[in-house]
Amino acid sequence: MRRFILEIVFVLMVLSSFGQTGEIENWRNLGYLAKTNKDFISAIDYYQKILTADSTDYDAKLALARLYIITKKYKTAILLFSQIFKNDSTDVEAMNGIGECYGLLGSDKKSIYYYEKACSFLPDDIQQHFYLAKAYTNGGDLSRAIEVYRAIIRIDDTYSESWAGIGKMYFWMGKPKSAIVFFERALELDPENEEIKKEFQNVQSELDYALSVNFGPVREVEENYEINAMISKVKFEKRIDDHFHIEANFLLDYSNRDFTDDTGDTSRWYNTLWVKGSWISEHHKISAFGGYSSTDNKISTYGLNWNFNYNAGRFIIKNSINAAYDYFYYWNKVGGKSVTDEAQVSFGILGLNARYTYGMIDPVIVYDNVDDDDNTGIRQNPYQAYSLSLTCKILKRPDIRIGLNHSYLNYEYKSPKYYSPFGRTLTGASTSIYYSFLKFYVYGSFSYNLGTEYNSAEVKDVKMDVDNWSSNIEFGYNYYPFSFSIGGSNFYNPYYQNLTGFIAVKILF
């Protein structure tokens, strides 16, 4: 009797097991169907039911982890992939899943670690090498990415994506001449690949001759006069090879100045020609430039510029130092020397910009405060300025950003020949939007600043309000080898207003 009862219990257990197995397979089929129909919430629910019934089900755990990637729950996905990896440290699927999640979270070093580990188990797997190359690229290690793409070519040299990958890395390293060779080979292997053709076109455009023409009206309004001008600019440039770039620029300005009392109205022509040569490496660009104005019979600009650029995935550092002379206000024949250092740091959606300038304006008439006509003289005028801004990208498409800004500008003396405030501070906010569609784009920005400046360099108790606002709008069209844009801008404070418009055309050949 006892044996009979045990046999019945065993049969019931077997039948129950078969029933549970059938139920699990039903959930698995429903989960797969829901995923296929992009009903990810239902799919997650079905696979969770499987794991509740059997926590060791490998396929359900893997499918659920990948669903969490699709629904952007990367940390939850990592927990599931890590459970698989803990049970089997040779599971490449788990390593790739963890690597992908860390890459999407911006933890590029961890992403690279797991992709490298996976690649060590599958040293001849092409797709595994592509995963690793992408991780190196996202982490900003372009040289290591090139090594991986070359490894792919050694395994199989018919993959156009590996040749194009090397070309893209060289292009991003500032070496378009080197990149050309690899893109040409990629297109030999896959001549109909639209993505590779587009990337190749970008490289070609960097090496083409370029002619740019920009012209438009400018209107400046001050308390006692108004200036109306038509300014035309022409630029011709050529990237010679991986390291050298040259350009020549010409500006022609016809303007008239009309006084409110109808006295002293006048007009003039002004032109200037300047050339610039640059040496370029992966992280550095060093430029020298100089220019001359034949209308004013004067050197209009000269100087040196150094740009530094370092990209480590989502972390980007840029720095620029410019030491130059600039004939910045030709109506009153005023120029000056200055040194400017500008640094930019960005991480993900946040960006910080800091700028500092120290300069010395050429000797012209100056005095000590706004109401002092007695203590005047022809003197050099030192000044310093700084600005800080913090921006945040709040939407990716369209690209919408908001920012906070603060700036300071102070001259030692006041001059009637150019804007030279005492202790001017501006603090405010800004916003911008950029949207592209097919070959078209639109850009707009607006900022408002609360500001004050002093009447005297010595007495810091009389302030003037210099609140201002500015706006910009631009529409453009790009279709190789031609681009076109049109736009305008406006700046306003109680003492000065500037309105500009422009049409710009660029042709590559």
Asked, for residue 219, whether it belongs to a domain, the answer is no
- Domain termination site, one of 190, 206, 222: 206
- Domain termination site, one of 206, 231, 254: 206
Same domain, 173 and 303: no
**300 versus 8: which is more confidently predicted?**
300
Q: Is the pLDDT of residue 61 over 50?
A: yes
pLDDT at position 314 is 78
Among 217, 184, 218, smallest CA distance to 201 is for: 184
pLDDT at position 16 is 46
Full 3-state SS string of 25-82: HHHHHHHHHHHHCCCHHHHHHHHHHHHHHCCCCHHHHHHHHHHHHHCCCHHHHHHHHH
Query: The whole model's pTM is what?
Result: 0.81
CATH code of residue 360: 2.40.128
pLDDT at position 272 is 97
Whole-number percent of the chain with pLDDT over 70: 93
Same domain, 122 and 31: yes
- Domain termination site, one of 181, 206, 231: 206
Asked, for residue 23, whether it belongs to a domain, the answer is yes
Tokens of 49: 């039911």
Same domain, 184 and 309: no
Asked, for residue 161, whether it belongs to a domain, the answer is yes
pLDDT at position 312 is 77
Same domain, 294 and 190: no
Decide the pairing of beta strands 496-508 and 209-221. Answer: antiparallel
Span 461-508, pLDDT tens digits = 667 889 999 999 999 999 989 999 999 999 999 889 999 999 999 999
Q: Is the CB of residue 198 less than 8 Å from the CB of residue 210? A: no
Q: Is the pLDDT of residue 356 over 80?
A: yes
Number of domains in the chain: 2
Same domain, 92 and 193: yes
Asked, for residue 90, whether it belongs to a domain, the answer is yes
Contacts of 262 by beta carbon, 8 Å cutoff, 6+ apart: none
Asked, for residue 365, whether it belongs to a domain, the answer is yes
Span 213-245, pLDDT tens digits = 999 999 999 888 899 999 999 999 999 999 999
Asked, for residue 460, whether it belongs to a domain, the answer is yes
Same domain, 296 and 202: no
The mean-pLDDT minimum among 8-12, 31-35, 201-205, 212-216 falls in 8-12
Domain range for 128 is: 18-206
Among 233, 164, 244, smallest CA distance to 207 is for: 244
CA separation for the pair 218, 104 (Å, rounded): 46
Tokens 């390293």 locate to 173
Q: Is the pLDDT of residue 439 over 60?
A: yes
Same domain, 371 and 461: yes
Span 151-173, pLDDT tens digits = 999 999 999 999 999 999 999 99
Q: What is the mean pLDDT of residues 305-313?
A: 89
pLDDT at position 264 is 74
Same domain, 465 and 318: yes
Same domain, 193 and 108: yes
pLDDT at position 371 is 55
Averaged pLDDT of the chain: 91
Q: What is the mean pLDDT of residues 258-282?
A: 90
pLDDT at position 460 is 57
CA separation for the pair 112, 132 (Å, rounded): 7
Same domain, 184 and 333: no
- Under the banding of pLDDT at 50, 70 and 90, the label for residue 261 is confident
pLDDT at position 18 is 44
Q: How many CB atoms lie within 10 A of CB 61?
A: 21
Span 89-109, pLDDT tens digits = 999 999 999 999 999 998 999
Whole-number percent of the chain with pLDDT over 90: 79
Asked, for residue 289, whether it belongs to a domain, the answer is yes
Same domain, 153 and 290: no
Same domain, 71 and 160: yes
CATH code of residue 27: 1.25.40.10
The amino acid at 341: D
- Under the banding of pLDDT at 50, 70 and 90, the label for residue 315 is confident
Sign of CA pseudo-dihedral 11, 13, 14, 16: positive
Asked, for residue 176, whether it belongs to a domain, the answer is yes
